[in-house]
């Protein structure tokens, strides 16, 4: 069996997923391919072609496997959730950059789950993979990444309502292209800072007496006396509204509004949610001054990784290069640019089981 699952770029709606709010990702044309063959020796053998590394576990002891703290946790985390897993040799190869906020881990989880014979599809498959990440990899993430990888739509973004888990495609106005630029930095606050944000949001919803911040409004958040918790809640509430406004602006083909919402989302992440960093702020502020770039904001979990840029299609390449060169002059780092296109979700490429 050979499977493919894409990474994603989240256009807008950051950290709203675990607060049961709205997100608007695209699945991208970068992803992970997994190939599974039977193993004669009762093992799960996993080979990463990118890293040229092979690891293996006895199938019968997989339940007692401990997380290794590396890429194999995403594979083993998924494998443990598949009932009656057969002994398998799995080979994975990905072109999603790691640590860039483009969901290389979700692409690995989803392609693995399908290749190992998971029967779940759609939202249930996304849930299974999220569970693997929460329970085995130990990241208290929401469902954004896995849902995007499973349910991507060609030529459209997907509006996901994380409370009902319903989604619908949203098309960008004609002539608007998307590129992500990788700052090549990932400040090591990652998982602990993410967990803190999850905790602070839970605290905010408890203070407000609502099941999740999806049920809060801006007036309510202003009553929170702790300034830090108040800022966190304000980001979530305003970000949910920006997602809905962004969808409205797409429908009206109001390109200027799209750009303003991108920049406003970034300011909110920087000032209220405090998940940006100087390199990323530089990429956003520089993008603001480059003709043809409509809007820019950090995408993904934060503290580095990529910004996502909306750009006039006819000058996307030139505009992205101006940004890359400015970044190089400032930080001496060679940022990678990904001109991405909204793409279909995960699929079985070969060897579908009956």
Among 17, 8, 11, 27, smallest CA distance to 247 is for: 11
| Residue 11 near ligand GLA by CB under 6 A | no
Contact 141, 130 (CB under 8 A): yes
Q: Closest separation between CB of residue 95 and ligand GLA, Å?
A: 18
Nearer residue to ligand GLA within complex by CB, 87 or 165: 165
3-state secondary structure of 42: coil
CB hemisphere CA count around 304 (13 angstroms): 16
| Residue 292 near ligand GLA by CB under 6 A | no
Pattern 37-76, ligand GLA, x by CB under 6 A: ----------------------------------------
Of the candidates 145, 245, 254, 272, the residue annotated as catalytic is 145
Nearer residue to ligand GLA within complex by CB, 229 or 275: 275
With CB under 6 A as the contact rule, which of the stretches 15-23, 181-189, 238-246, 279-287 interacts with ligand GLA? 15-23
- Token pair belonging to 258: 């799209």
Nearer residue to ligand GLA within complex by CB, 101 or 292: 101
Nearer residue to ligand GLA within complex by CB, 17 or 272: 17
Contacts of 37-42 with C-beta under 8 Å, sequence gap 24+, read 37/88, 37/89, 38/86, 38/87, 38/88, 38/89, 39/87, 39/88, 39/89, 40/87, 41/87, 42/87
Binding positions for ligand GLA, 199-258, rule CB under 6 A: none
Q: Closest separation between CB of residue 243 and ligand GLA, Å?
A: 11
Contact 22, 130 (CB under 8 A): no
Measured CA to CA, the distance from residue 343 to residue 354 in angstroms comes to 26
Active site residue 145: yes
Length of the chain: 354
How many other C-beta atoms are found inside a 10 Å radius of the C-beta of residue 246? 27
Binding positions for ligand GLA, 301-340, rule CB under 6 A: 301
Binding positions for ligand GLA, 267-286, rule CB under 6 A: none
Rule CB under 6 A: choose which of 4, 12, 17, 116 binds ligand GLA.
17
Q: Which residues contact 131 (CB under 8 A, 6 or more apart)?
A: 81
Among 38, 109, 121, smallest CA distance to 79 is for: 109
Binding positions for ligand GLA, 127-186, rule CB under 6 A: 141-142, 144-145
With CB under 6 A as the contact rule, which of the stretches 10-18, 56-64, 212-220, 328-336 interacts with ligand GLA? 10-18
Q: Which residues contact 78 (CB under 8 A, 6 or more apart)?
A: 109, 112, 113, 116, 118, 128, 129, 132
Q: Closest separation between CB of residue 141 and ligand GLA, Å?
A: 3
Nearer residue to ligand GLA within complex by CB, 72 or 149: 149
Active site residues: 145
Q: List interacting residues with ligand GLA (CB under 6 A).
A: 10, 14-15, 17-18, 141-142, 144-145, 300-301
């Amino acid at each position: 069996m050979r499977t493919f699952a894409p990474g994603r770029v989240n256009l807008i709606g950051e950290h709203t997923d675990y607060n049961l709010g709205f997100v608007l990702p695209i699945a991208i044309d970068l992803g992970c391919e997994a190939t599974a063959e039977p193993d004669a020796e009762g093992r799960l053998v996993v080979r990463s072609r990118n890293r040229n590394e092979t690891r293996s576990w006895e199938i019968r002891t997989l339940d007692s496997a401990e997380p290794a703290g590396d890429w194999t946790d995403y594979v083993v985390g998924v494998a443990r959730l598949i009932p009656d897993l057969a002994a398998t040799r799995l080979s994975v190869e990905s072109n999603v950059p790691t640590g860039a906020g483009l969901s290389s881990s979700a692409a690995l989880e989803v392609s693995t789950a399908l290749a190992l014979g998971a029967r779940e599809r759609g939202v249930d498959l996304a849930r299974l993979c999220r569970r693997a990440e929460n329970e085995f990899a130990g990241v208290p993430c929401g469902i954004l990444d896995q849902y995007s990888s499973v349910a991507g739509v060609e030529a459209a973004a997907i509006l996901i309502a994380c409370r009902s888990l319903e989604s619908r495609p949203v098309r960008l106005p004609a002539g608007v292209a998307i590129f992500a630029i990788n700052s090549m930095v990932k400040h090591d606050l990652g998982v602990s800072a993410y967990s803190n944000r999850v905790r602070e949001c839970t605290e905010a919803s408890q203070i407000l007496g609502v099941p999740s911040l999806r049920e809060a409004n801006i007036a309510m958040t202003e009553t929170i006396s702790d300034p830090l918790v108040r800022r966190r809640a304000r980001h979530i509430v305003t970000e949910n509204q920006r997602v809905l406004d962004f969808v409205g602006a797409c429908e009206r083909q109001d390109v200027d509004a799209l750009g303003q919402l991108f920049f406003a989302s970034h300011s909110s992440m920087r000032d209220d949610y405090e998940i940006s960093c100087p390199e990323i702020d530089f990429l956003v502020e520089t993008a603001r001054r480059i003709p043809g770039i409509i809007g820019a904001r950090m995408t993904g979990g934060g503290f580095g990784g990529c910004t996502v840029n909306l750009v006039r299609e006819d000058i996307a390449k030139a505009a992205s290069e101006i940004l890359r060169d400015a970044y190089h002059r400032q930080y001496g780092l060679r940022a990678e640019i990904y001109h991405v296109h909204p793409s279909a979700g995960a699929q079985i490429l070969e060897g579908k089981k009956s």
